[in-house]
Amino acid sequence: MRKILFAGGLLFLLSLAAFAQTIENASRSTIGYIRDNGTVENKSRSTIGYINNNGTVENSSRSTIGYITENGTIENASRSTIGYITSSGAVENASRSTIGYVNSDGTVENSSRSTIGYAKGINPRHAAAFFFFFFKDAK
């Protein structure tokens, strides 16, 4: 299964592999992985963090760097809101400006509602956590 996420002007393609979801950039180059157990890896398969079932996001040293709440709020380590994933599938920044959509049928659209891909089977909160907390470390 594949999922494309448009956030912050960047396009991410996630695919479900045997035990990890592969994260690819718009050029379809792998930039990271999210394993079934929540371990986040860079493109070299080195662990760069964790997304725990309780919503806590940790770096590779297991220090808390953020939170993903049940209602889709994305917070940094200081509990300041830095983004949202809404129940309708909108991806928003901290100012509540919509930067993309993940629709229930799996289509992904940019803020102009142009289809940019398809997304099925991947937890949107995990994708958001990767984008907000690990993208710079995954390159």
- Enumerate the domain spans of the chain: 2-138
Phi and psi for 70 in degrees, rounded to 5? Answer: -60, -30
Contacts of 54 (CB under 8 A, 6+ apart): none
**Which tens digit of pLDDT belongs to each residue from 40-58?**
899 899 999 999 999 999 9
Average pLDDT value over all residues in the chain:
76
Dig out the tokens for 81 from the structure: 């809101």
CA distance 41 to 32: 5
pLDDT at 112: 87
Fold for the domain defined by 2-138: Porin (2.40.160)
pTM of the complete model: 0.72
Report which of 26, 31, 2 is spatially closest to residue 110, judged by C-alpha positions: 26
The more confidently predicted of residues 125 and 87 is: 87
pLDDT band for position 17 (50/70/90)?
Answer: very low
pLDDT band for position 22 (50/70/90)?
Answer: confident
What distance lies between CA 42 and its chain's CA centroid?
A: 14
What is the torsion angle, in degrees rounded to the nearest 10, for the CA atoms of residue 87, residue 111, residue 43 and residue 81? -50
Q: What share of the chain is helix, strand, coil (3-state, %, to 5)?
A: 10, 50, 40
